[in-house]
Structure 1
Amino acid sequence: MSDQAILRITREIKQIQQSADLSIAVDYDECDIRSVRAIILGPPETPYQFGLFEFSIKFGKDYPARPPIVSAKTTNGGSCRFSPNLYSGGKVCLSILGTWTGESGEQWSSAQGLESVLISIQSLMSSNPYENEPGYEDAKSDSDTEYMVQYKAKIRHETIRIAVLQPLEVTLGLLPNGTTKSSSEKLSEDDDIDDEILAYDTPFNDLRKRRFLWYYQSYAQLIDAESENSHTQPKRSFQRMPFESSGNTMDGHFDYPELKRRLAHVKDKIIEETEAWRAEGLQAKDDELGIAVNLQRQVEQIVENLKHHKNFSIDLNLVDGNPFLWDLTYFGRPTTPLEGGIIKMRIHLSPRFPHEQPRVFVKTQLSHIRVSQDGVLCYFPKRAEEMRHHIEAMVAVLEEDDPPYDPRSTVNPQASKLFWGSPEDRKKYRRTLRRDIEKSVEDAFD
């Protein structure tokens, strides 16, 4: 591969990594930049909603004259076909990749790149994936309608089980019954994870955990809603689609009660892991590790900068002198939605920062679209390796008055429904938020 091609791949990876797009993330093999790993977030309001689907991308020596080779990795060990175009064996059937003939003008060109490939794959995760199968786009019979309903139902179930829970359980070392596991043990009778996934030290472990905390309530609501559906009762087998052939199917059965239990189990384990950072951090401080010294210096610089600019809207302190546990109090500024409020937050930092990003919990009751019902704050720093950018981003999302609609970044479903509902709903949202602000002041002086 030419140096020019290497530079192009490097540039394309960097552009995605620096992008504010929440839908895709990439990383690469440090020994071979032509070997890339990618995560695609299942689009909102589709059966794939908030699933994290992983792909491997291999750039050949003739790139960009020819497209890269892409393989789906979220397949339950090669046993689950997630779409008419996403095969259980990992094949991604897409004209831009040359794996499907497609229409004229849909083929690969050197003007395209990594981002366009990932966006094209994401487009396969549509609201009605049944219609992606050639020949079924005009399906209108009663039996076709039933197939569409059944197909979406089983994709929703398997998205939670395989694209959300399974990778986290592997990462956290969990079995569904609450015990720890060895890499040779399976998660359940339906979970069949291949050796590559078990052995692969995925760069997306932390991303999966943070997104899980963001979207936990959305996952829980979906499970509750689907549990009431007569088509998705426990142990009911998935219906096989006409285009599914032996060895390339999505077979299995529904069991939402079990998924609900596993969901809560994973959440408890992530919270437990987060709280364990406190002791790990104190040990790192005692051992005078570089990361402890670095974070101590960063918090001192942030506090000094706040004083220099006479920014009295933020008070920042270390908890028990621990550079890995910060308490932040935000005093709502005039003309902002939180005007007059006293909002307390706790910032947990990992001894592996910035490889593992901070997890921020709002301790004050706050019915806010960026704050989950469990208090998890959803925010987006411009530079993930510097804590001052994290602090700025935390304040920025809390002060947003009229953000654009984006379900991927609104982590409180109840508050979001009001905020983007009718004008009366929006008024109710603001009244509820205002009551929380007033109570925050009362609580601060109790």
Structure 2
Amino acid sequence: MSDQGMLRIAKEVKQLQKSSDLYELMNTLPWSFEIKALAIDFRDDDIRNVRALIMGPPETSYQFGFFEFSIKFGKGYPTKPPAIQALTTNKGRCRFNPNIYASGRVCLSILGTWHGNRSEQWSSAQGLESVLISIQSLMSNNPYENEPGFENANTSSDKENQKNYVEKIQHESLRLAVIEPLESSFAISAQKPVGTLCNEWLGDDDDDEWEEEEENYDPFLDLRKRRFLWYFDLYMNTIEFEEAKTSRTRNFQRMPFESAGNTMDGHFNYPELKRRLTCLREAILAETHRWPALGLDAQKEELGIAANLQRQYEQIVEDLKRQKIFHINLCLVDGNPFLWECTYFGQPMSHLDGGVFKFKIYLSPRFPDEQPRVFMEKPVFHIRVSKEGVMCYFPQRTEEMRHHIEAIVGALEEESPPYDPRTTVNPAATKLFWGSPEDRKIYNRNLRKAIEATLE
């Protein structure tokens, strides 16, 4: 590959990496669902081989699934498109879209893997981001329409196929793009009961599983875990809705365009998905609660991360005093720099007026590679706080704790955020917040009740 080609790849990768945790890669107006949600990773010694993660778009059958792709830039780039391989295929057994095959083949005109109009074909003006967005556009609320000839499909049979296709993609997105990758990271077997799984994973206090995880490093693992906690209620709502109307013995219907070796076969079992989701949540919470103890071990060993977090804490506290910011109070729980407690006092004349909000910030010994996980002491009826008290926020800089504190407070204080389904983690609150004017009044009343409860 020419030096010019390598520089082009490096520039595109750097541009994508500037975006913070799938959030700032957003080119949309409020109320629009055309939201980009991408993450990439590559080995330092070979920028031509890139791993990408595309988050399934909200309000589609792919919603908040994590779909991985391999991207290889050949010698002809950017004159020729990169080669793309889908990795979320259940080891070559699951076709997730008419254009995303079980073999991993992605059929798109822009990639030269599908015939199309000249205007849809690759040009050197396009790049990595446009390729990933094109792939994400396939993950629509009616993926059946990607099949050639769909425009002529108007029969009742075709409409029934569309419905059945959406239903099985939704089930498999949860199973294969959410649950199974996380189970693999925890070495969880899908057949064992919840208590057995989680207790077994916790094991003793040694670091065997910690070291094993290092050997099987997944660049998107921390992102998956944090997002799983954020979207847990949304996943469960989907499961409970579908469980009520779908028999667990019902087989997936094979589509007319599916052929042997290139299908999505299986059967529905939402009760089992619910069990596995619950177990994963317990495992992630257990891991989170171990961080402070592991952090103390790092402190005893005089590792740099402990001193770094202690110093950041002291600087933030000093800055709060210097700036005379008295509505935010920080402390270390038992002096542990890996467990922070923050108390936020709602400002007068604001929608949080009079509230006293306490939350704990758990930090990993691998910070910032593993990002903090934040839990409200008393869950608040708020679009950014899940039913279980998990806080959803986006720091401008992930390696500095002051940006985390600012982002947490900013998420609580924001009164009129633009609509972005990826940032709202309380389904009941979200429905009211962006509902009718009367719904918004109900939301405000529920929030006020929750604020009053913080004083009890």
TM-score class normalised by the smaller sequence? over 0.9
Moved more, 120-129 or 333-342: 333-342
Corresponding letter in the other structure for 1:7 = L
CA offsets 1:121-144 (integer angstroms, 9 cap, x no match): 000001111111001233110110
Q: Does 1:216 align with 2:216?
A: no
Change (3 A) 1:335 1:9: farther
Instruction: Supply the distance in 2 between the matched residues of 1:302 and 1:61 (Cα, whole angstroms).
Output: 48
CA offsets 1:283-326 (integer angstroms, 9 cap, x no match): 11111111001000010011111111111111000011111000
Contact 2:61 2:169 in 1 (8 A): yes
Q: Does 1:145 align with 2:165?
A: no
Residue in 1 aligned with 2:128? Answer: 114
Instruction: Supply the distance in 1 between the matched residues of 2:328 and 2:288 (Cα, whole angstroms).
Output: 24
Residue in 2 aligned with 1:422? Answer: 436
2:249 partner SS: coil
How well do the aligned residues superpose, as a CA RMSD in angstroms?
A: 1.4
Contact 2:197 2:279 in 1 (8 A): no
Residue in 2 aligned with 1:233? Answer: 247
Counterparts of residues 63-212 of structure 1 (less than 5 Å): 63-176=77-190, 177-178=192-193, 201-212=217-228
Q: Does 1:314 align with 2:314?
A: no
TM-score w.r.t. length of structure 2 = 0.91
Residue in 2 aligned with 1:185? Answer: none
2:118 partner SS: coil
Change (3 A) 1:235 1:199: farther
1:275 partner SS: helix
Instruction: Supply the distance in 2 between the matched residues of 1:180 and 1:5 (Cα, whole angstroms).
Output: 48
Contact 2:379 2:386 in 1 (8 A): no
Instruction: Supply the distance in 1 between the matched residues of 2:118 and 2:216 (Cα, whole angstroms).
Output: 38
- Deviation at 1:341? 1.1
1:248 partner SS: coil
Corresponding letter in the other structure for 1:2 = S
TM-score w.r.t. length of structure 1 = 0.93
Change (3 A) 1:268 1:180: closer
- Deviation at 1:4? 2.5
- Deviation at 1:335? 3.9
Q: Does 1:58 align with 2:72?
A: yes
Corresponding letter in the other structure for 2:167 = A
Q: Percent identity?
A: 62
Contact 1:336 1:400 in 2 (8 A): no
- Deviation at 1:336? 3.1
Residue in 2 aligned with 1:3? Answer: 3
CA offsets 1:34-74 (integer angstroms, 9 cap, x no match): 11111111111111011110111111122111111111000
1:27 partner SS: strand
Residue in 2 aligned with 1:364? Answer: 378
Corresponding letter in the other structure for 1:76 = N
Instruction: Supply the distance in 2 between the matched residues of 1:125 and 1:345 (Cα, whole angstroms).
Output: 36
Q: Does 1:40 align with 2:51?
A: no
1:47 partner SS: coil
Instruction: Supply the distance in 2 between the matched residues of 1:313 and 1:154 (Cα, whole angstroms).
Output: 49
Unaligned runs of 5+ in 1: 182-197
Contact 1:69 1:97 in 2 (8 A): yes
Change (3 A) 1:263 1:342: same
Residue in 1 aligned with 2:28? Answer: none
1:323 partner SS: coil
Instruction: Supply the distance in 2 between the matched residues of 1:308 and 1:255 (Cα, whole angstroms).
Output: 57
Q: Does 1:395 align with 2:395?
A: no
- Deviation at 1:426? 0.3
- Deviation at 1:235? 2.2
- Deviation at 1:200? 5.6
CA offsets 1:313-346 (integer angstroms, 9 cap, x no match): 1100001111100000011123432122110010
The number of residues matched between the two structures is: 424
Contact 2:379 2:388 in 1 (8 A): no
Q: Does 1:13 align with 2:13?
A: yes
Residue in 2 aligned with 1:375? Answer: 389
Q: Does 1:355 align with 2:369?
A: yes
Instruction: Supply the distance in 1 between the matched residues of 2:100 and 2:92 (Cα, whole angstroms).
Output: 11
- Deviation at 1:199? 8.1
Residue in 2 aligned with 1:193? Answer: none
Instruction: Supply the distance in 2 between the matched residues of 1:256 and 1:109 (Cα, whole angstroms).
Output: 44
Instruction: Supply the distance in 2 between the matched residues of 1:158 and 1:237 (Cα, whole angstroms).
Output: 12
